[in-house]
Amino acid sequence: MRTSRSLSLLVLQALLGLTHATSSKKFEVTLSLDGRTSLIESDTAAVYYPKKAKHPVLFVGNDGSAETGGFRLWDLYGGQKSSPKELSAFKTGRSKLVEIVYSIGEDEEDYVVTLSMQDGLIRLYEIDGKDGKLKYLSGVDKLVRGDFSAMCTWRSKSTGGQYVYVMGKRWLYRFLIRDKPSKSRRNAGIEIVETQEFAIPVEPNSCTVSPDGKVYFAGDNGKLFSFPAADSTAKPKITEIGEPAGGDEIKGLKIYRGKHDTYLFLGLEDAIEIFDIKKLDKSLGTIKFADEELELNDFAIYQPGSKAHPDGTLIYAGENDDGAFFGTSSLAPVFKSPSKLKSNTKYDPRDCISEHAKPKKCSSLSDCNGYGYCPSNTRSKKATCDCFPGFAGATCNKITCPDNCSSPSQGTCTGPNTCTCKAPWTGEKCATLAVPARYETEESGGADGDDPAIWIHPTDKSKSRIITTVKSEVGSGLGVYDLTGKRTGGTSGGEPNNVDILYGVPFGNRKVDLTVAACRDDNTICMYEVTPTGELFEIPGGIQPLPEAVKELEEEFDVYGSCVYHSPKTGAYHIFINSKSSLYLQFELTTKDGKLATTLVRHFYAGNRGQVEGCVVDDPNSTLFLGEEPYGLWSYPAEPDAPAVGTLVDNTVVDGGKLHADVEGVTLVYGKTKQEGYIIVSCQGFSEYNIYQRAPPHNYVMSFTIPNNDKKGVDRVTNTDGVTAVGTNLGPEWPYGMVVVHDDVNEAPDGSARTDATFKILSLKDILGAKVVEGLGLLNGVDDKWDPRK
Ligand SMILES: *[C@@H]1O[C@H](CO)[C@@H](O)[C@H](O)[C@H]1NC(C)=O
Ligand SMILES: *[C@@H]1O[C@H](CO)[C@@H](O)[C@H](O)[C@H]1NC(C)=O
């Protein structure tokens, strides 16, 4: 296996590289931008082939923004100067994924399929091809937990089954969209049923399926993979094919069905390479764009000709200096000489649907009740069906759930992998505690928040402040709020990402408290003084550019996450700054000539070199805890002269742990002794938080999530990112301190999204002291008198 893998890898690399040298044999065309939409956070595009020639050609594109997120529908050729004409917008919540499926069930309807990041629901919209209207199929939604980044469809030739692949953080789900199996003749409606799930080696950003039933996907590491699609629950063999020469990231994958040959269009950031699907080691030609600024995200192909585009149209999600949008170009240059490619303008996805395909009858096994595949050895007395996830029994007539929904005390299994939980339990196994927030911060003019901090007042703890970050360009800065979320001040600019507090830093003859963040706007460490009344002021040396030495470590180090450390050994103050590459920089903070100054004292690559961001330091024990988004939580010794050797605290479910990717914010609550206290980690894809014991071996304690608080009108937390907590008594309402979390989409009572992000404020007592976990005595592990200045 190893030999063949590295061989094919070599071939693709070598030949893709070679094509540069022998470019005379390879064609290159430059496409001009013929039409474009208004600005929109575009990631993926799909085209709908009309049922009849006189119907409009529709294309759907996602909207990835928090406020208007979902997808939109355009008439591809309906606008002025052949620009697409927007027909409608569907605000299902921030989304990256839209696809189209054809001729489903007895009624042979066509649907738009989309998956929202806000609520994790797959939704279906029936397409009325005649006038381009969409009808939402209520009651059909399917919940998928996680964070997903690629979607593609496959129609099985042998069973006619219409499948949708959904891929995310090293995990893949496959769903079947069909008429519900029904004993009666009556149509019982459409259903989305899961048929398969398995681990994959990467987080894909695109996928496509060839006519011969091979699924191709490209990972965040730039590599292309494939596996055979089959009407089966068995995990297929995944083959690594290779990567583009030069290590460019693959941005999109699409199939072009020629008359005789099939082509794979492989999108890179500024070009599309075209391959014969049978010879993936040699690019036939390259599509470039006249707009040299254009960065491609994804694309779709409409093969039939139109007046303006006789050889079909390329539709792409792209970005240039103006912002992101969807653009269209004629494919005609691709099919002109010297290219040997022949266009196929007669292609219609409906032609590939086999009329005779029917699920294999499984006589002795009652057709697996429609929720499994018939085994090949049906005649054997021991034969049993291969059941879809959530179904069990020889004929798949039973349903199952993970951990049986922590039955009987916390929930019951009421559907395939579907639990009905007893409040306050929730989550996929009814093992997650639902704890509503008590308050939320006022809106502050920015859509993208991240990691907050809590500043503890030196004398009157109830006058402590919540400090938040807004990292979006609009509204960027730190926000300062009282403990009920009322804004009391803030700063503007800098695009700070994560904020933390250093207490009592010597500055001249004073001791000052500082907010410390990494500012992405100007790639600096940015600090403000917190006055004893909780106001933020600029301080000399508060903006620290990275030293030249960083360039030698990494040509383009872009600051990202950060955290702080006050050493009990040396009394020194430290700042950790990371970049997405997983490079951690450790600085010592001092004062020089009346200004704050920083010195780089250590650097190391964290974890498995996956993307990092959130971190926190256990000061008394000199331990840095850091999250590696796709893999897990690590601990590192925090002293600059200690070896940078990491210890895994827990990893993600894919690798057998209890965390769900992305592993984002990390915070710490101190205990009365060094053995007590907790670490809290936010899991973005699930919007859940895991709590671990602070001391090794860091046993898992519990997890919680934040639902709507209808009484107080505080909405639930979705797509969570940063988190902070203190256990200190902050007054009568906060006897064991509080937890403050980032909420991606601030939902109005009707479920629509507001423009500005907010942070939610929870009582730590509501979590660790909740009735259902009272017996565990978890509050005893919190030091409610913890004083950061001691
Ligand atoms: C799951 O829990 C139910 C009660 O909620 C119980 O009747 C059933 O036997 C349990 N199933 C398994 C496999 O333990
Ligand atoms: C502190 O860290 C050391 C290893 O660095 C570990 O052995 C010890 O148990 C830790 N104690 C706590 C309370 O974390």
Res. 555: pLDDT tops 60? yes
Task: Determine whether the shortest distance from the Cβ of 195 to ligand 2 is under 6 A.
Answer: no
Task: Determine whether the shortest distance from the Cβ of 680 to ligand 2 is under 6 A.
Answer: no
How far apart (Å, rounded) are the C-alpha atoms in residues 120 and 562? Answer: 29
Domain co-membership, 664 together with 588: yes
Domain co-membership, 460 together with 378: no
Where in the sequence is the domain holding 297, given as residue range(s)?
19-353
CA 675–ligand 2 middle distance (angstroms): 8
Q: What is the CB < 6 Å shell around ligand 1?
A: 404, 407-408, 412-413
Domain co-membership, 348 together with 368: no
**Residue whose CB lies within 8 A of the most ligand 2 atoms, among 622, 623, 668, for a mutation test:** 623
Residue 8 resides in a domain: no
Question: Residues 573, 552: contact at Cβ < 8 Å?
Answer: no
Residue 542 resides in a domain: yes
Which position has the higher pLDDT, 129 or 463? 463
**pLDDT tens digits for 346-403?**
999 998 787 767 766 777 788 899 999 998 877 788 889 999 999 999 999 999 999 9
Starting from the CA of residue 406, give the closest ligand.
1
What is the position in ligand 2's atom list of the atom closest to the CA of 673? 13
Per-residue buried b or exposed e for 587-620, using 16+ beta carbons within 10 Å of the residue's own CB = bbbbeeeeebebebebbebbbeebbbbbbbbbbe
Res. 1: pLDDT tops 70? no
CA 393–ligand 1 middle distance (angstroms): 14
Domain co-membership, 451 together with 374: no
CA 728–ligand 2 middle distance (angstroms): 22
Residue 699 resides in a domain: yes
**Residue whose CB lies within 8 A of the most ligand 2 atoms, among 618, 621, 647, 699, for a mutation test:** 621
For residue 707, give both structure tokens. 């639902």
DSSP E strand boundaries for 10-94: 27-31, 35-36, 45-48, 58-63, 70-75, 85-90
CA 787–ligand 2 middle distance (angstroms): 21
CA 680–ligand 2 middle distance (angstroms): 17
Which position has the higher pLDDT, 67 or 404? 404
Residue 4 resides in a domain: no
Specify the amino acid at residue 780.
N
Res. 448: pLDDT tops 70? yes
Q: How far is CA 231 from CA 195, 379, 776, in A?
A: 9, 19, 47
CA 391–ligand 1 middle distance (angstroms): 14
Domain co-membership, 200 together with 284: yes
Q: How confident is the model at residue 185 (pLDDT cuts 50, 70, 90)?
A: low
Res. 14: pLDDT tops 80? no
Specify the amino acid at residue 534.
G
Residue 459 resides in a domain: yes
Mean of the per-residue pLDDT values of the chain: 92
CA 404–ligand 1 middle distance (angstroms): 6
Task: Determine whether the shortest distance from the Cβ of 673 to ligand 2 is under 6 A.
Answer: no
Q: What local confidence, expressed as pLDDT, does residue 186 receive?
A: 64
The answer to whether the predicted template modeling score (pTM) of the entire model surpasses 0.85 is: yes
Q: What local confidence, expressed as pLDDT, does residue 340 receive?
A: 85
Q: What is the arithmetic mean of pLDDT over 505-523?
A: 96
Domain co-membership, 523 together with 375: no
Starting from the CA of residue 399, give the closest ligand.
1
Res. 503: pLDDT tops 60? yes
Three-class secondary structure of residue 789 per DSSP: coil
Res. 23: pLDDT tops 50? no
Q: What is the arithmetic mean of pLDDT over 544-561?
A: 95
Q: What local confidence, expressed as pLDDT, does residue 187 receive?
A: 65
Res. 658: pLDDT tops 60? yes
Q: What local confidence, expressed as pLDDT, does residue 256 receive?
A: 98
CA 409–ligand 2 middle distance (angstroms): 36
**Residue whose CB lies within 8 A of the most ligand 1 atoms, among 391, 398, 405, 413, for a mutation test:** 413
CATH of the domain at 366: 2.10.25.10
Starting from the CA of residue 694, give the closest ligand.
2
**Neighbouring C-alpha atoms within 13 Å toward the C-beta of 73:** 25
Q: What local confidence, expressed as pLDDT, does residue 361 receive?
A: 74
Percent of the chain residues past pLDDT 90, beyond the cut: 81
Res. 775: pLDDT tops 80? yes
Q: What local confidence, expressed as pLDDT, does residue 441 receive?
A: 97
Question: Residues 310, 331: contact at Cβ < 8 Å?
Answer: no
CATH of the domain at 598: 2.120.10.30
CA 571–ligand 2 middle distance (angstroms): 19
Among 353, 387, 410, identify where a domain stops.
353
Domain co-membership, 246 together with 303: yes
Domain co-membership, 389 together with 293: no
CA 782–ligand 2 middle distance (angstroms): 17
Question: Residues 71, 125: contact at Cβ < 8 Å?
Answer: no
In the chain, the number of structural domains is 3
Residue 705 resides in a domain: yes
Domain co-membership, 172 together with 281: yes
How far apart (Å, rounded) are the C-alpha atoms in residues 275 and 16? Answer: 10
Domain co-membership, 391 together with 452: no
Q: What is the arithmetic mean of pLDDT over 29-52?
A: 95
Task: Name the least confident of 3-7, 251-255, 574-578.
Answer: 3-7
DSSP state of 550: H
Task: Determine whether the shortest distance from the Cβ of 695 to ligand 2 is under 6 A.
Answer: yes
Residue 83 resides in a domain: yes
Domain co-membership, 390 together with 501: no
**Closest residue CA from atom 14 of ligand 1:** 404
Which position has the higher pLDDT, 18 or 561? 561
Task: Determine whether the shortest distance from the Cβ of 314 to ligand 2 is under 6 A.
Answer: no
Q: What local confidence, expressed as pLDDT, does residue 757 receive?
A: 87
How far apart (Å, rounded) are the C-alpha atoms in residues 8 and 239? Answer: 9
Q: What local confidence, expressed as pLDDT, does residue 2 receive?
A: 30
Residue 755 resides in a domain: yes
Among 353, 377, 392, identify where a domain stops.
353
Domain co-membership, 159 together with 306: yes
